[in-house]
Amino acid sequence: MAVNTIEFRTLCRELGDAVTLVAVSKTKPVEDILALYEAGQRDFGENYVQEMLVKARQLPADIRWHFIGHLQTNKVKLILPVVQLIHGVDSLKLLKEISKEAVKSGRTADCLLQVHIAEEETKFGLDAQELEELLDRAATGEWKQVRLRGLMGMASFTADREQIRAEFNSLKKKFDSCRKSVPDPLVFDTLSMGMSGDFRIAIEEGSNMVRIGSLLFGERVRK
Ligand SMILES: *Cc1c(COP(=O)(O)O)cnc(C)c1O
């Protein structure tokens, strides 16, 4: 079994109650997820819609599934019945679709807005202007069944710790300023940043939700 339950317990102690651990189980078999579930973990993150749906069918119903990948609009209605929190909302078009499908299915969709903080162009996320536009629209109250819960971001893939810190710091500042303008600041309470390689820096910079895969499940073969 590749699952590192010792690391899991150490991590839980380190994070305490203030930081939510999302165990990123993409590409990992249901047996591994179940092993961590049995150790007490309930929040799991997946990047691929089909994979998440298949796993959700096979695993206990009290697992909270986080969708952390890039979500295509045509997959929104598939994941809504299963997903607890959508981390990667990175366009107006996607948010509109989530709103439309949430209304249709009588659900409330909890979402994080993904902000581009890394140097790499390849990473997804809203830039400062897009974020502002989106929050302005949200403030009109037109998306009644979408609940904006906070922001998500990924730092650059670099060995430069200070750069990573600066990127997380910029996201925390955005989070604090967004919180002042959202219609419902009390539910805008989640800052999802930090992965296996950089979660300690993220927490020092104000993260309250980390997404950790390889540290718990071992290295992945596929992306
Ligand atoms: C894969 C992935 C993670 C987890 O990465 P690790 O380095 O294995 O901890 C976290 N967030 C996102 C968005 C991911 O795609």
Determine the atom of ligand 1 nearest the C-alpha atom of 199. Answer: 9
Q: Which two tokens stand for residue 7?
A: 């690391």
DSSP 3-state assignment of 205?
Answer: coil
Q: Which two tokens stand for residue 104?
A: 């249709």
Does residue 222 register a pLDDT over 80?
A: no
Distance of CA 140 to the CA centre of its chain: 25
Q: Indicate which residue's Cα is closest to atom 7 of ligand 1.
A: 196
Q: Indicate which residue's Cα is closest to atom 11 of ligand 1.
A: 211
Determine the atom of ligand 1 nearest the C-alpha atom of 22. Answer: 10
Distances in Å between the Cα of 103 and the Cα atoms of 33, 46, 144 are 31, 24, 8
Does residue 124 register a pLDDT over 90?
A: no
Q: Indicate which residue's Cα is closest to atom 6 of ligand 1.
A: 213
Contact by Cβ (8 Å): 147, 110: yes
Q: How far apart are CA 81 and CA 102, in angstroms?
A: 9
Q: What is the pLDDT of residue 22?
A: 98
Q: What is the pLDDT of residue 28?
A: 96
Q: How far apart are CA 42 and CA 21, in angstroms?
A: 9
Determine the atom of ligand 1 nearest the C-alpha atom of 197. Answer: 7
Mutate to test the pocket of ligand 1, among 68, 87, 156 (most ligand atoms within 8 A of CB): 68
DSSP 185: T
Q: What is the pLDDT of residue 119?
A: 86
Q: What is the pLDDT of residue 1?
A: 53
* pLDDT one-digit tens code per residue, 69-118: 999 999 999 999 999 999 999 999 999 999 999 999 999 999 999 999 99
Q: What is the pTM of this model?
A: 0.96
* pLDDT one-digit tens code per residue, 29-79: 999 999 999 999 999 999 999 999 999 999 999 999 999 999 999 999 999
Mean pLDDT score, 184-192: 94
Mean pLDDT score, 173-194: 93
Does residue 184 register a pLDDT over 90?
A: no
Q: Indicate which residue's Cα is closest to atom 5 of ligand 1.
A: 213
Residue type, 91: S
Higher pLDDT, 139 or 78: 78
Mean pLDDT score, 163-179: 97
Contact by Cβ (8 Å): 217, 3: yes
Determine the atom of ligand 1 nearest the C-alpha atom of 68. Answer: 13
Distance 26 CA to ligand 1 centre (A): 9
Distance 3 CA to ligand 1 centre (A): 16
